[in-house]
Each structure stands twice: as structure tokens, then as C-alpha cells.
Amino acid sequence: MILIKDVYVNGKRQDILIEGNKIKKIGEVKKEDIEDVEIIDGKKKIAIPGLINTHTHIPMTLFRGVADDLPLMEWLNNYIWPMEAKLNEKIVYWGTLLGCIEMIKSGTTTFNDMYFYLEGISKAVDESGMRAVLAYGMIDLFDEERREKELKNAEKYIKYINELNNSRIIPALGPHAPYTCSKELLMKVNELAKKYNVMIHIHMNETLDEIKTVKEKTGMEPFIYLNSFGFFDDVNVVAAHCVHLTEGEIRIIKEKNINVSHNPISNLKLASGIAPIPKLLKEGINVTLGTDGCGSNNNLNLFEEIKITAILHKGVNLNPTVIKAETAFNFATKNGAKALNIKAGEIKEGYLADIVLINMDKPFLYPKENIMSHLVYAFNGFVDDVIIDGKIVMREGKILTVDEEKVYEKAEEMYEILRS
């Protein structure tokens, strides 16, 4: 058992008792009453639910800084995809470990990923102690032979992850986007999602260019097109980006309970645009936050997304009340958990013990009055202790699950292979 004593949580100082992978009690807990307990002194700390990143390509930590200041299509076609052709399980494994360290240090406990070489990713997630939803990213480019291969791979990885029997690693399906995946592939994805009871993770409406391509091909906007053949029926979908949406598309997102992953930093950096988040909120749509990969962000610090979300939409709408601090924070916690269907995102009895502690003795966190405001507008994202699934993975800034130095060394080595 783990007992966090005198920590500021849910508005007051109290104790948190963790048993197994769950929060057993919040309130006053006497250590004498419990046997075999590890005590964490929470006096100087606050406890928040671990953050949930709903759109990443985690091994892309190794692509950090390789192609900046470009629009999406040029970035993908001329830089990222040629480099991705050199990937293998080993490179992806080390890139993922680097990403896990970065996320743990910045308070993220769960991520929703779409990428290749899922054996390497799963191994790294397992070792790091993180929680993840992993989808093999499918791209068929409208070619039948490629489609069959991609679908086989996707199914193979769902089975592979299920056989790992690790409750922290959840399989999903990841068709890349409507401009890279055929209707036949997308229809099959809906079928497989129901067959294996897994969610779907897809890029939607990121740029005007891609929407134009889909419209020229199908005569419809992407959400209308996918909806026309039942892609969103009876499945749980996380749609990343959703930057440019028509009223009709917003109606579909609402009707089909599609979860939106807002990635403001990636969208700003690739000059894709700004998603109409206040409009989506008015419709009661579940908005969550993602970083996207490190090629387009260039880090995995979800606290940055929280702050940007809270301030960006104020500026764009000339209205400081459109997204309040707590709303942005909930995007990265409660709403993320809802999207991924996990009992996390809040510190509550019976919930998964995914908890982050922050030492408040930091100059930018004084005076200690409005904690939520500080977390959203003042905090730099460097947290102190992280518990995932009831296990301490970082203590006082030190990662306990993996050898940090070795990961940094290997990351440099893997990068040399990619750029050669």
C-alpha cells in the first residue's frame, strides 16, 4: 500500500491511501492502522490526477527538430515519411522510452498513440510503467494490396496486445486519415472495432488542403463522407485535430459522440489553423487534449497544451471567458479519461491510482492561493512524483522504472541511424 500524507487534494489537505492499482481512501488515514505501507510526505505538495494525452506518435521523439517551419504535406512527404521508412522495432523502442520519460516528468500518466512497430512500443510502455492505448497506424493510399496488409497488421497487433494481458496497455485501431485511407479500409475498421471491442483513433480535418482533396474525390466534407458509410456507428472514436469543421460536421460529431483531441501547438506550428473549441463545447462535445508527435510540437508537455488552450481561444474570440482555467485542465484529465474509457482523470475512491504530486515550493507557484490558476497559467510542467496504476514510477524527480542515462545515450544512437 502507499499512503500520501497531508497532501492538498480536491480543495483541502488530506491523506490518500492506495491499495493495489486503485485509490482506496481519501480523508484521514492513520499509518498505524495499516501494515506494509510506503509513506509519501505530501505536506509541501498538491496531488492532481495524472494527465491524459489523447493524440501522440510517441516514437517521434527521435524526429524532434528535424524538419521545422513547414506546412503539413511538405513536412510529411519530404521529411517525415522518408525518415520513417528507416524505422524498426529497436529504434521505435528507444524513441518510445524517451517519450515515456518526458511524459512522466511532465505529469502525463496515459497516452493515446498511433504508430508503427507496436512490439517495440508495447515493450517500452510496459517497462516505463505508463498507461497507453496503442493503435497500429494504417495507410493504404487507396491500394488494395496495401489495404490487406495494413488490416492484417492491425488485427495482428490487437491480438498481440491482448495476449500481453497487461491492463495498462490497451489495443485500438488507427486508420491514419480520410486522405490516406480508402473507404474499404475504413469500413473494415468499423467492423474490426466492433469485433474486438476497441476504439478508433484517426486524424480528421487537420488542414484545408486535405479537406479539399477529400471533397474533390467524394463530393463531401470528411466527417460527412465517413458518416455516409457508417464509419462512426456503434464505435468509440477519438478524432485528432478537427481544425476546420462545417456546421453539418459538428452535428455529426455531436450525434455520434465523437471525442475530439485538440492539438493546438501542432496546429499552430504547422500553420494548419485553430480548432473551433468554444463552438464544440457549446454543443456538449467531449474535448480532450493531445500533443501530436514531437516532429510537430516539439515536446510532450501537456501542461503547455493546457495553457495554450486556455489563452488561445480567448484571443481568437476576443472573449476571456470562453475557456476558463478549470475547463482547460479538465480537457487533459476527466475528458481524456472519458474518451479512452478508463476510470481515471480524477482523484476519487475506487478510481485508478494515476496520481501526480507537485511540490509547491517553486517561485512561480507563490502566493499559494489559486492553485487551479497556477496549474494552468503559471506552472512549467516539471512535476515531482508520479504514481501510475498504484506504482511509484517517479520519486522526487527521479525515474524509478528505467535507466534515464542509458535512454538518452540510445536516443542519440538511434537518431544517427535515422539521419544517415
Ligand X SMILES: CSC[C@H]1O[C@@H](n2cnc3c(O)ncnc32)[C@H](O)[C@@H]1O
Q: Which residue has the cell 463530393?
A: 219
Which x/- pattern over 249-288 shows residues binding Zn ion (rule: CB under 5 A)? Answer: ----------------------------------------
Applying CB under 6 A, among 99, 137, 336, 345 the residue interacting with ligand X is: 137
User: What is the rounded CA–CA span in Å between residue 221 and residue 23?
Assistant: 44
CA-based nearest residue to 258, from 283, 241, 279, 237: 237
User: What is the rounded CA–CA span in Å between residue 420 and residue 415?
Assistant: 9
Cell triple for residue 375? 496549474
Q: How far is the CB of 308 from ligand X (least distance, A)?
A: 16
* Residue ranges in 242-281 that form contacts with ligand X under rule CB under 6 A: 266
176 is in an annotated binding site: yes
| 105 belongs to the binding site for ligand X (CB under 6 A) | no
Which residue(s) pair with 5 in the sheet? Answer: 41
| 139 belongs to the binding site for ligand X (CB under 6 A) | yes
203 is in an annotated binding site: yes
Applying CB under 5 A, among 102, 140, 210, 292 the residue interacting with Zn ion is: 292
- Residue 354 binding target from Zn ion, ligand X, none, CB below 5 to 8 Å by type: none
CA-based nearest residue to 207, from 227, 247, 179, 185: 179
* Residue ranges in 169-228 that form contacts with Zn ion under rule CB under 5 A: none
Q: How far is the CB of 378 from ligand X (least distance, A)?
A: 28
How many beta carbons lie within 10 A of that of residue 362, not counting itself?
Answer: 14
CB of 50 closer than 8 Å to CB of 92: no
Applying CB under 6 A, among 93, 111, 115, 303 the residue interacting with ligand X is: 115
147 is in an annotated binding site: no
User: What is the rounded CA–CA span in Å between residue 328 and residue 310?
Assistant: 6
Q: How far is the CB of 137 from ligand X (least distance, A)?
A: 2
User: What is the rounded CA–CA span in Å between residue 420 and residue 418?
Assistant: 6
Query: Which residues contact residue 370 at a Cβ distance below 8 angstroms, ignoring those fewer than 6 apart?
Result: none
Applying CB under 6 A, among 102, 206, 221, 385 the residue interacting with ligand X is: 206
Mark the binding-site residues for Zn(2+), compressed into ranges: 55, 57, 203, 292
Q: Which residues bind ligand X (CB under 6 A)?
A: 57, 72, 76, 80, 84, 114-116, 137, 139, 176, 203, 206, 266, 292-293, 296
